[in-house]
């Protein structure tokens, strides 16, 4: 896993929203598949209550649309709280990602209860 991570870093910066896939498109696809496989494998060892998983699965549309905005906002809050604007380490980005999930959860619950149509759910008649 460390070798794959190092090679992925050597592939360069990826910004899908900018259509930037690093230095090599095949390496980008390969490392994307490897990362997905690692996440699937790790998820077998992490026990998360079904209620939380169901909420995130039902609110996937919200997270797909808002994750970049929420991540950037949470990163800004993190930088202001720590007073460090020089750049973020991998650990800081992981912490901010977890915070983004934590903040997203009540928003998704609220939307499921009061505005389900925004999450692709049909209104009950």
The alpha carbons of the chain give a radius of gyration, in whole angstroms, of 17
Instruction: Give me the pLDDT at residue 125, please.
Output: 62
Instruction: Give me the pLDDT at residue 1, please.
Output: 63
Instruction: Give me the pLDDT at residue 62, please.
Output: 87
Higher per-residue confidence, 78 vs 123 = 78
Question: Per the structure block, which two tokens stand in for 72?
Answer: 């950037």
Q: Which of 53, 67, 66, 118 is nearest to 97 (CA)?
A: 67
d(CA 108, CA 124): 18
Q: Which tens digit of pLDDT belongs to each residue from 43-92?
A: 788 787 888 888 888 888 888 888 788 888 888 888 888 887 676 787 88
Average pLDDT in the chain = 81
pLDDT score of 106 more than 90: yes
pLDDT score of 95 more than 90: no
């Amino acid at each position: 896993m460390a070798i794959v991570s190092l090679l992925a870093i050597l592939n360069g910066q990826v910004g899908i929203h900018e259509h930037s896939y690093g230095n090599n498109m095949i390496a980008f696809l390969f490392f994307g598949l490897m990362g997905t496989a690692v996440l699937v494998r790790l998820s077998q060892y992490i026990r998360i209550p079904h209620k939380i998983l169901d909420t995130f699965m039902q609110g996937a549309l919200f997270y797909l649309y808002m994750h970049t905005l929420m991540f950037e906002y949470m990163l800004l809050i993190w930088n202001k709280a720590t007073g460090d604007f020089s750049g973020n380490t991998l650990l800081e980005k992981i912490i901010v990602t977890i915070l983004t999930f934590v903040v997203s959860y009540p928003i998704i619950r609220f939307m499921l209860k009061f505005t389900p149509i925004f999450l692709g759910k049909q209104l009950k008649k």
